């Protein structure tokens, strides 16, 4: 396992101390008499990773299907129609095909790095995904540095991409890898700085806490409406996220018409699908971050209503003092989780819409945009938001 996964496991393990890891507690109650504690911890961590992997696969499969349908309808055609209702099983058919394909490694490639690169890319995104809160009371890892963790992990995928480009021993892949490196370096800064704006308002990097803070105004107390610098910051964040996830119009690392398939040129079969999965998982995570920090996260009037009606606490102290599952609150958590999912997929839809509409920008234009426009503008937003908040505090106390 890579350091990324180890870190994810660690942060999952940290939860045990705070007593909110219901899964582990249940495990201890059931098997504590038979197995040592470390085995239970490991079991809980492995199960968590398996669930995250499953979630990523599901999201990637659904996104691929969605992408093909969106592309189809934008382009006056239907997209997949044959496998299942409106082709909804298409991704599974594709997955089977990819699994059955011959695993090709070019003769002159660096075999170790070539095989390691897709694994690293996937591991990094799985680790990042651990910070995604499923519902207010259901999460893999309640990381206090959530945003920081997600950004750090998703930029680790860049290392995998550069590795893949170099190891393939092809000129086109090296071009793709270098473009990816340059692009991520250029866009990581505006991405982080633009995210600082809501983080500053929230006062926390924890995704779940940030979401909870937006529950005012009957579920419409989104950070987006709390500060005039939020909307520009959101736009900047979204543009930077497009570049970060290699999506059009910033899909230079894999620019099909220029670099054949960029860093993925020599990959095929299941290894190629790892890169593919990473792309969609990264899109999802970036959209989820946007949803949590700009668009209210779990909160919507519907969530608020569900919370009022069903109650919000998923775990309550029972009569005996032990933590008990509060079944009544499940609908609230389901509504909240779905709200965040819908918001995240709205972001993904926007990314797809852009991809199938816009031409690709040139490499120097990407750099110009990142360094000359996005970074200064993001800094202006951050400073402006800070002054606004300080002024608000000074005036209103």
Partner 1 sequence: MANEVTKTMPPSTRLRQTDVGEVTVDIRTPDLEINFGPQHPATHGVMRVLMRTDGELVTGAQPHLGYLHRCAEKIGENVEWLQYLPYTDRYDYLASMNNNLGYSLAVEALLGVEIPRRATLIRIICAELNRIGSHLVAFGTYGLDIGAFTPFLYCFREREWMMALFEKICGARLTYSYIRIGGVFNDAPPGWFEEVARFCDVFEQKWPEYVDLLLVNQIYVKRTANVGVISREMALDFGLTGTMVRGSGIDWDLRRDMPYMCYGEIWRDGAFKIPVAKGEMGALGDCWDRSWVRVMEMMESIKIVRWCLDHMVDGPVIGELPKTLKVPAGEAYVGIENPRGELGHYVVSDGGKVSVRTRVRGPSFCNLAVLEDILPGALVGDAIAIIGSTDIVVGETDR
DSSP state of 376: H
Does residue number 323 form part of the binding site for partner 1 (CB under 8 A)? no
Q: Applying CB under 8 A, which of residues 368, 379, 383, 389 lies at the interface with partner 1? A: 368
CB of 166 to partner 1, least distance (A): 14
Q: Applying CB under 8 A, which of residues 19, 30, 104, 171 lies at the interface with partner 1? A: 171
Say which residues have a Cβ less than 8 Å from residue 26's Cβ, sequence separation at least 6.
none
Choose the stretch contacting partner 1; rule: CB under 8 A; options: 30-38, 258-266, 301-309, 316-324: 258-266
| Nearest to 242, CA basis, from 155, 352, 162 | 352
| Nearest to 139, CA basis, from 370, 344, 387, 333 | 333
Question: Coil, strand or helix: which one is 228?
Answer: coil
Q: Which is nearer to partner 1, 14 or 185 (CB)?
A: 185
Does residue number 256 form part of the binding site for partner 1 (CB under 8 A)? yes
Q: Which is nearer to partner 1, 17 or 359 (CB)?
A: 359
Does residue number 253 form part of the binding site for partner 1 (CB under 8 A)? no
Does residue number 76 form part of the binding site for partner 1 (CB under 8 A)? yes
Does residue number 364 form part of the binding site for partner 1 (CB under 8 A)? yes
Does residue number 320 form part of the binding site for partner 1 (CB under 8 A)? no
**Long-range contacts of range 198-203, CB-CB < 8 Å, 24 or more positions apart?**
198/223, 198/230, 198/233, 198/293, 198/294, 199/147, 199/293, 200/382, 200/385, 200/386, 200/389, 201/226, 201/227, 201/230, 201/385, 201/389, 202/293
Choose the stretch contacting partner 1; rule: CB under 8 A; options: 39-47, 55-63, 73-81, 339-347: 73-81
Does residue number 312 form part of the binding site for partner 1 (CB under 8 A)? no
CB of 78 to partner 1, least distance (A): 12
The answer to whether the CB of 251 falls within 8 A of the CB of 244 is no
Q: Return d(Cα 111, Cα 104) in angstroms, integer.
A: 11
Q: Contact residues for partner 1 (CB under 8 A)?
A: 71, 74-77, 171-172, 175, 248-249, 251-252, 255-260, 356-365, 368, 372
């Amino acid at each position: 396992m890579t350091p990324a996964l180890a870190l994810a496991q660690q942060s999952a393990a940290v939860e045990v101390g705070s007593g909110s890891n219901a899964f582990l507690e249940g495990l201890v109650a059931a098997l504590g008499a038979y197995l040592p504690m470390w085995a239970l911890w490991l079991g809980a961590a492995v199960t968590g990773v398996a669930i995250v992997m499953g979630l990523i696969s599901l999201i990637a499969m659904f996104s691929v299907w969605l992408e093909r349908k969106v592309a189809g309808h934008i382009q006056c055609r239907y997209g997949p129609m044959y496998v299942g209702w409106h082709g909804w099983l298409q991704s599974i058919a594709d997955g089977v095909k990819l699994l059955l394909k011959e695993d090709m490694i070019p003769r002159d490639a660096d075999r170790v790095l070539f095989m390691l690169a897709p694994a690293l890319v996937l591991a990094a995104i799985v680790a990042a995904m651990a910070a995604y809160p499923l519902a207010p009371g259901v999460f893999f890892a309640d990381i206090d540095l959530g945003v920081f963790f997600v950004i750090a992990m998703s930029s680790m995928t860049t290392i995998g991409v550069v590795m893949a480009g170099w190891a393939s021993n092809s000129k086109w892949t090296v071009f793709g890898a270098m473009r990816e490196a340059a692009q991520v370096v250029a866009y990581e800064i505006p991405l982080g700085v633009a995210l600082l704006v809501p983080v500053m308002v929230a006062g926390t990097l924890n995704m779940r806490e940030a979401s909870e803070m937006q529950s005012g105004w009957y579920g419409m107390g989104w950070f987006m409406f709390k500060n005039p610098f939020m909307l520009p910051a959101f736009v900047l964040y979204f543009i930077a996220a497009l570049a970060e996830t290699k999506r059009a119009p910033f899909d230079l690392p894999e620019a099909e018409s220029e670099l054949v398939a960029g860093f993925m040129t020599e990959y095929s079969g299941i290894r190629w699908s790892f890169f593919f999965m990473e792309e969609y998982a990264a899109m999802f995570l970036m959209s989820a971050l946007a949803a949590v920090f700009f668009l209210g996260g779990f909160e919507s009037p519907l969530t608020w209503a569900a919370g009022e009606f069903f109650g919000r606490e998923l775990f309550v102290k029972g009569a005996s003092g032990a933590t008990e599952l509060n079944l009544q609150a499940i609908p609230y958590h389901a509504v909240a989780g779905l709200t965040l999912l819908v918001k995240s997929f709205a972001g993904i839809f926007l990314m797809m819409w852009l991809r199938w509409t816009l031409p690709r920008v040139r490499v120097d234009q990407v750099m110009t945009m990142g360094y000359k426009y996005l970074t200064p503008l993001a800094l202006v937003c951050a400073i402006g938001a800070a002054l606004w908040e300080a002024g608000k505090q000074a005036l209103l106390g």
